[in-house]
A and B are shown apart, each in its own frame.
Chain A
Amino acid sequence: MQAFLNDPMAMILLTGALVATSGALLGTFLVLQRQSMLSDAISHSIVFGIVVVWLLTHAQSGPLQIAGAALTGILTVFLTEMVARTRRVKRDAAIGLVFPALFAAGVLLLNLYARDIHIDSHTVLLGEIGFVWLDTMPLAGFDVPQAVVWMSVATLVNLGFVLACYKELKLASFDWQLAAALGLAPALMFYILLGLTSVTAVAAFDAVGAVLFIAFVIVPAATAYLLTDRLSLMLLLAVLVGVVSTLCGYPLAVRLDVSIGGTMASMTGVFLLTAFVLSPRYGLLGHWRNRRVKVPG
């Protein structure tokens, strides 16, 4: 067991698979609710939360950071909704106003008060999965990489949430009004979903960085959306696409001697492109064939 945990390759692949799984579970619902760009907003604005929690408690990781991240994510969404609700700014512009402001505030706080600490916007935006096996913590008699521990927790929490609230999430994604009328609290689901996105983003920072985490949230889910009409199948396919991307990405990255996280995330794009071209029902191929059927001779 310890030998497995000490194996860099196994740990990198495991971390990648966990990032992919946790991201796809949330991303499926974000894509269906047309809120994908909120994951982008959150994973940038979280820099602000990380810095504020650090300034207040000097905690660089752990439960406090995670709570701070969840709050920042919810703050981002709340502020966006507030700006949009003035009805003087369209929603997409509201997103683009709020998160750069929070990000900028976070970077400035770093500039002013935390010049010599370990967290900088570099680490947060880029991350490096290649080093996850170096940073371990003792757990049940083993030395387990921290990233594996935190990503496992995040994955389990996300999985638990999706399984426990499957009905609520499903209805909120397809018919918000009906969900509200039936008392299934779609707004609450929405905020929990985005809170979990923030938490997972923080856990994933060390491994892949903020921007690449977005790839694992949005792209596999979008790929699965092109392939199926069933929600349960879409969840499964999204997880599968994400995990397979990490598995393909790793050897490629090692061969080319480039960023492992970057290659894994790029692979999700390859799958999206493939599905876009080849998907029988919703791809270009299907589009072209349907057009021929619709316009007979």
Chain B
Amino acid sequence: MLDLLGNHTVQTVIMGAVLLGLVSGLLGSFAVLRQQSLLGDTLAHAALPGVCIGFLIAGTRHLGWIMAGALGTAVIAALFVQVITRYSRIKMDAGLGAALSVSFAVGVVLLTYIQGHSSASQGGLDSFLFGQAAATRPSDLWFMGGVTLAAISLVALLWKQLKLVTFDPLFAGSIGLSVGVLETVLTAMIALAVVVGLQMVGVVLMTAMVIAPPVAARQWVSRLEHMVFLAMLLGVISGVVGVLLSAGVSHLATGPVVVLVASVLVALSLLLAPGRGVLWSWLKLWREQRAIGQRQMLVTLHKLAEHHEDPYYPVERSMLDSFYGVATGHILRRLQARGFVVPASHMREEGPHWALTDAGHNEARQELERMDWNQAEA
């Protein structure tokens, strides 16, 4: 592992992954919260024709032109989605899907045009489709760094406005913020993040880089600033871990490994995050069901004892089993541990019997009162 860190290419790629994680975590948070997660998908596909146009203008694989082109077509696609969903009956899903597939088609046309007509080698354009982290050059890092810095400062500068537009666009509009402008700025910045990530992880997987770290972060925290920081951190972690894993095992493409690491982070967060984790709510549900079972059992035994006018009336377990339709042994044993029931002897050659203790009767009466209360309130 340490050998890897000394390797020059790996260092460059790791730096790239760190920058990518920062910028996609930062801007992805806003996309996810504004329920525009799939916008990243559309923007990533829509960048392809721009990559080709940039290449055609520069005549070579010049990163600046390519990025500018990619940003241009991505923003055009995003505006198209905004306009067609606002001014026609086309819904968001179809708008995103149409923009995505048509601009990708145009990209494919341009790609084949370059292959057929350009004298310059189009080598390296494919890397924008599938991502080629190892092709990251040290000079690319300056560019990515600049974009990341610009994105961070812009978000810091417009923090309050962006926050308001994200959570309550109607209110933002009513206090005189120009919601349309802010939304466009956000969209353009998300496009920028996507474009930066394209050549590292490729079109398809860039979708995940915008969505996964923010979704994972959201499970752990509830404040926007915390979420943004955590999303950036998780983005960096998935980037670096992914790069190291793929560099350690030969022939593993970097992009997919980075995305799988991010997906694992999401799965763990969904399951384990305190408060929101699915595992905790299952556990809570299970505990509640168990408690309900015990309370019902106490009430049943209490009523049976009342009916037979014998507080220590022994009830046969098999009767309880058939009454509840499930085996009740474990419930009775837990109640015994709490001192509410005791095993009782009845007649010989019959199954085990149980009777309530005084404490059990008390508990059952309290439970009945609670039930009356609940009914009265309902």
Q: What residues make up the interface of A, taking CB atoms closer than 8 Å to B?
A: 31, 34-37, 39-40, 44, 83, 86, 88-90, 92-93, 95-97, 99-101, 103-105, 107-108, 111-112, 115, 121-122, 125-126, 209, 211-212, 214-215, 217-219, 221-222, 225-226, 253, 256-259, 261-266, 268-269, 272, 276, 279, 282-284, 287
Q: What residues make up the interface of B, taking CB atoms closer than 8 Å to A?
A: 32, 35-38, 40-41, 45, 84, 87-98, 100-113, 116-117, 126, 129-130, 204-205, 207-208, 210-212, 215, 218-219, 251-253, 255-257, 259-260, 263, 266, 270, 276, 278
Shortest CB–CB separation between residue B187 and chain A, in angstroms?
15
List residues of chain A with CB within 8 A of the CB of B108: 126, 209, 211-212, 259, 261-262, 265
Contact of B112 among A40, A97, A214, A262 (CB under 8 A): A262
Among A115, A257, A269: residue with most chain B CB under 10 A: A269
Contact of A276 among B40, B84, B105, B211 (CB under 8 A): B84
Q: When the two chains form their complex, are residues B100 and A86 in contact, meaning their CB atoms are under 8 A apart? A: no
List residues of chain B with CB within 8 A of the CB of A95: 37-38
Q: When the two chains form their complex, are residues A212 and B256 in contact, meaning their CB atoms are under 8 A apart? A: no
A100-B207 in contact given A86-B270, A262-B105 (Cβ < 8 Å)? yes
Q: When the two chains form their complex, are residues B256 and A104 in contact, meaning their CB atoms are under 8 A apart? A: yes
Shortest CB–CB separation between residue A19 and chain B, in angstroms?
13
Q: When the two chains form their complex, are residues B130 and A121 in contact, meaning their CB atoms are under 8 A apart? A: yes
16 CB < 8 A contacts A-B: A37-B93, A37-B96, A40-B100, A97-B212, A99-B207, A100-B205, A104-B259, A105-B260, A112-B251, A122-B130, A211-B100, A211-B101, A215-B98, A262-B107, A282-B89, A287-B88
Contact of B252 among A40, A108, A126, A212 (CB under 8 A): A108
Q: When the two chains form their complex, are residues B208 and A266 in contact, meaning their CB atoms are under 8 A apart? A: no
Contact of B35 among A35, A90, A107, A262 (CB under 8 A): A90
10 smallest CB-CB distances across A and B, nearest first, come from A269-B102, A265-B105, A262-B108, A100-B208, A215-B101, A104-B256, A36-B97, A259-B112, A93-B37, A218-B97
Q: When the two chains form their complex, are residues A39 and B97 in contact, meaning their CB atoms are under 8 A apart? A: yes
List residues of chain B with CB within 8 A of the CB of A209: 108
A263–B92 CA distance with the chains assembled, in angstroms: 25
The residue of chain B having its C-beta at the shortest distance from the C-beta of A279 within the complex is B88
List residues of chain B with CB within 8 A of the CB of A261: 105, 108
Q: When the two chains form their complex, are residues A265 and B101 in contact, meaning their CB atoms are under 8 A apart? A: yes
List residues of chain A with CB within 8 A of the CB of B270: 83, 86, 88-89
List residues of chain B with CB within 8 A of the CB of A258: 109-110, 112-113, 116
Q: When the two chains form their complex, are residues A226 and B260 in contact, meaning their CB atoms are under 8 A apart? A: no
List residues of chain A with CB within 8 A of the CB of B94: 31, 34, 36, 218, 221-222, 225
List residues of chain B with CB within 8 A of the CB of A219: 97-98, 101-102
List residues of chain B with CB within 8 A of the CB of A279: 88
A253–B111 CA distance with the chains assembled, in angstroms: 13
Contact of A225 among B41, B90, B126 (CB under 8 A): B90
Q: When the two chains form their complex, are residues A92 and B204 in contact, meaning their CB atoms are under 8 A apart? A: no
List residues of chain B with CB within 8 A of the CB of A121: 130
List residues of chain A with CB within 8 A of the CB of B88: 226, 276, 279, 282-284, 287
Q: When the two chains form their complex, are residues A262 and B101 in contact, meaning their CB atoms are under 8 A apart? A: no
List residues of chain A with CB within 8 A of the CB of B219: 88
Q: A37-B38, A221-B94 are in contact. List 18 more A-B contacts (CB 8 A).
A: A31-B94, A88-B270, A95-B37, A96-B41, A97-B263, A103-B204, A107-B130, A108-B253, A212-B104, A218-B101, A219-B101, A222-B90, A265-B102, A266-B106, A269-B103, A276-B84, A279-B88, A283-B88
List residues of chain B with CB within 8 A of the CB of A93: 32, 35, 37, 211, 215
Q: When the two chains form their complex, are residues A272 and B278 in contact, meaning their CB atoms are under 8 A apart? A: no
The residue of chain A having its C-beta at the shortest distance from the C-beta of B49 within the complex is A266
Q: When the two chains form their complex, are residues A269 and B105 in contact, meaning their CB atoms are under 8 A apart? A: yes
A104-B205 in contact given A34-B93, A111-B252 (Cβ < 8 Å)? yes
Shortest CB–CB separation between residue B12 and chain A, in angstroms?
21
Shortest CB–CB separation between residue B95 and chain A, in angstroms?
8
Q: When the two chains form their complex, are residues B109 and A259 in contact, meaning their CB atoms are under 8 A apart? A: yes
A285–B111 CA distance with the chains assembled, in angstroms: 34
The residue of chain B having its C-beta at the shortest distance from the C-beta of A86 within the complex is B278
Q: When the two chains form their complex, are residues B91 and A34 in contact, meaning their CB atoms are under 8 A apart? A: yes
Q: When the two chains form their complex, are residues B102 and A266 in contact, meaning their CB atoms are under 8 A apart? A: yes
Q: When the two chains form their complex, are residues B211 and A214 in contact, meaning their CB atoms are under 8 A apart? A: no
Contact of B89 among A104, A226, A268 (CB under 8 A): A226
List residues of chain B with CB within 8 A of the CB of A111: 251-253, 256
Shortest CB–CB separation between residue A72 and chain B, in angstroms?
15
List residues of chain B with CB within 8 A of the CB of A211: 45, 100-101, 104-105, 108
Shortest CB–CB separation between residue B110 and chain A, in angstroms?
8
Shortest CB–CB separation between residue A107 and chain B, in angstroms?
5
A90–B96 CA distance with the chains assembled, in angstroms: 16
A64–B335 CA distance with the chains assembled, in angstroms: 56
Q: When the two chains form their complex, are residues A88 and B91 in contact, meaning their CB atoms are under 8 A apart? A: no
List residues of chain B with CB within 8 A of the CB of A284: 87-88
The residue of chain B having its C-beta at the shortest distance from the C-beta of A100 within the complex is B208
Shortest CB–CB separation between residue B360 and chain A, in angstroms?
39
The residue of chain A having its C-beta at the shortest distance from the C-beta of B208 within the complex is A100
Q: When the two chains form their complex, are residues A36 and B105 in contact, meaning their CB atoms are under 8 A apart? A: no
The residue of chain B having its C-beta at the shortest distance from the C-beta of A284 within the complex is B87
List residues of chain A with CB within 8 A of the CB of B263: 97, 100-101, 104
Contact of B259 among A88, A100, A212 (CB under 8 A): A100
The residue of chain B having its C-beta at the shortest distance from the C-beta of A37 within the complex is B93
Contact of B208 among A35, A101, A214, A263 (CB under 8 A): A101
Shortest CB–CB separation between residue B169 and chain A, in angstroms?
16
Among B90, B129, B253: residue with most chain A CB under 10 A: B90
